[in-house]
């Protein structure tokens, strides 16, 4: 299933370490695209270039404070993901809450890092997330899966499944999508893969694959979608060494 990306990852590993400035520019490019696309999926109207300018500390006229904060917060959340990867820390609920706290900082401080206390619905989806009083139990089940069955999976499959299970639980009032994509990347980056960019133009296929996973427990479409995006990121890295 993962033959192509395994082969490309092996090619990349063989070429490491990449030149310092090549690596720096790749990182900046992917982190900008990650921030832009992840926010755009959720309805943020800043363009790629506007996102870049906000990351440089400049305010865009006619855009909301929330849209600016979503960019800054996402950058800080990526830095936290990098920190966890460098420290080789194993995933915990505490880390997930910290990630979410960064995502919602200054936007919904009262909900940041706190499991929801009410029912929510995912617009456009058939799947209905569990009742709020089941969230703690569902999150514990997810972490048990992650530590047991999940540990035997290919990192891309594990990351995709973690993303899908988490967003199906929808443990927070807001910011679940961004947090789920941060968790996906946390998993693949731990194993030396470049960040996965779920592109906004693939939003419909992404939502449909997630809803299929949640309603039928068939994750194959979603895993395949993530695998294609991983290959795109690997191709970008490999283009610098060919």
Average pLDDT over residues 35-47: 98
Q: For every residue of the chain, which 3-state class applies, written as one string?
A: CCHHHHHHHHHHHHHCCCCHHHHHHHHHHHHHHHHHHHHHHCCCCCCHHHHHHHHCCCCCCCCCHHHHHHHHHHHHHHHHHHHHHHHCCCCCHHHHHHHHHHHHCCCCCCCCCCCCCCCCCCCCCCCCCCCHHHHHHHHHHHHHHHHCHHHHCCHHHHHHHHHHHHHHHCCCCCCHHHHHHHHHHHHHHHCCCCCCCCCHHHHHHHHHHHHHHHHHCCCHHHHHHHHHHHHHHHHHHHCCCC
Residue 123: the pLDDT is: 86
Give pLDDT, residue 207: 96
Mean pLDDT score, 169-181 = 98
Average pLDDT over residues 42-51: 98
Question: Distance from CA of residue 144 to its chain's centroid?
Answer: 20
Instruction: For residue 31, give both structure tokens.
Output: 């982190």
pLDDT at residue 242, rounded to an integer: 65
pLDDT above 80 for 217: yes
> Of the residues 74, 163, 170, 214, which is catalytic?
170
pLDDT band at 187 (very low <50, low <70, confident <90, very high): very high
Task: Name which of 95, 34, 96, 98 is nearest 70 in CA terms.
Answer: 34
Could you tell me the CATH number of the domain that includes residue 119?
A: 1.10.3290.10
CA-to-CA separations, 209 to 160, 187, 198, 204, in angstroms, rounded: 11, 20, 12, 9
Give me the phi and psi of 5, to 5 degrees please. Answer: -70, -30
pLDDT at 129 (0 to 100): 97
Q: Is position 74 annotated as part of the catalytic site?
A: no
> 26: domain range?
3-238
118-164 pLDDT per residue, tens: 999 988 899 999 999 999 999 999 999 999 999 999 999 999 999 99
Q: Which of 142, 141, 135, 143 is nearest to 92 (CA)?
A: 143
For the stretch 69-88, pLDDT in tens is: 999 999 999 999 999 999 99
- What is the tens place of the pLDDT at every residue in 151-172? 999 999 999 999 999 999 999 9
In the predicted model, is pLDDT for residue 197 greater than 80? yes
- Among candidate residues 153, 219, 216, 218, the one with its CA nearest the CA of residue 188: 153
Angle of helix 65-87 versus helix 176-190 axis, rounded to 10:
30
* Domains: count for the chain: 1
Q: Is the pLDDT of residue 205 over 80?
A: yes
Summarised one tens digit per residue, pLDDT across range 90-102 is 999 999 999 999 9
User: Percent of the chain at pLDDT above 70?
Assistant: 100
């Amino acid at each position: 299933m993962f033959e192509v990306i395994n082969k490309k990852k092996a090619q990349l590993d063989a070429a490491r370490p990449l030149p310092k400035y090549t690596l720096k520019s790749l990182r900046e490019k992917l982190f900008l695209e990650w921030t832009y696309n992840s926010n755009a999926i959720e309805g943020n109207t800043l363009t790629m270039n506007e996102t870049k300018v906000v990351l440089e500390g400049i305010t865009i006229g006619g855009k909301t404070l929330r849209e600016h904060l979503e960019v800054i917060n996402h950058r800080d959340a990526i830095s936290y993901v990098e920190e966890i990867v460098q420290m080789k820390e194993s995933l915990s609920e505490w880390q997930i809450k910290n990630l979410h706290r960064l995502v919602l900082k200054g936007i919904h401080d009262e909900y940041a890092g706190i499991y929801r206390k009410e029912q929510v619905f995912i617009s456009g989806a058939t799947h209905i997330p569990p009742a709020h009083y089941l969230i703690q139990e569902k999150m514990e089940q997810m972490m048990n899966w992650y530590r047991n069955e999940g540990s035997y999976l290919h990192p891309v499959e594990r990351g995709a499944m973690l993303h899908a299970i988490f967003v199906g639980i929808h443990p927070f009032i807001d910011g679940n999508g961004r947090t789920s994509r941060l968790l996906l990347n946390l998993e693949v980056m731990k194993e030396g893969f470049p960040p996965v960019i779920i592109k906004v133009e693939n939003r419909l296929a992404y939502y449909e694959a997630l809803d299929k996973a949640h309603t039928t427990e068939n994750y194959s479409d979603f895993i395949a979608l993530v695998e294609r995006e991983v290959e795109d990121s690997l191709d970008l890295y490999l283009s610098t060494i060919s």
